[in-house]
Amino acid sequence: MNLGLALEELHRSENHLAHQLLAVAERHEADHELFHLGRDLARWSQDHVRRLAPFGPRYGVDLDPEPAGEPRLVARLYEAVSDRLGRRSAPALLLLRDLRSLHLAAVGVSVDWEMVAQAAQGLEDTELLALARRCHPETLRQARWANSRIKESATQVLVTG
| Predicted pLDDT of residue 157 | 84
| Predicted pLDDT of residue 85 | 45
User: 87: which DSSP letter?
Assistant: -
Report the predicted TM-score, pTM, of the whole model to 2 decimal places.
0.87
Q: In Å, how far are 11, 62, 71, 92, 153 from 53, measured between CA atoms?
A: 8, 7, 21, 37, 36
| Predicted pLDDT of residue 72 | 55
Q: Where are the domains of the chain?
A: 2-160
CA distance 108 to 102: 10
Q: In Å, how far are 24, 39, 85, 113, 158 from 29, measured between CA atoms?
A: 8, 10, 22, 30, 22
Q: Are 131 and 55 contacting, i.e. CB atoms less than 8 angstroms apart?
A: yes
| Predicted pLDDT of residue 68 | 81
Per CATH, the number for 2-160 is 1.20.1260.10
CA distance 109 to 119: 15
3 state SS of 90: coil
161 residues of the chain, pLDDT tens digit each:
699 999 999 999 999 999 999 999 999 999 999 999 999 999 999 999 999 999 999 999 999 999 986 655 555 555 555 555 444 456 889 999 999 999 999 999 999 999 999 999 999 999 999 999 999 999 999 999 999 999 998 888 888 85
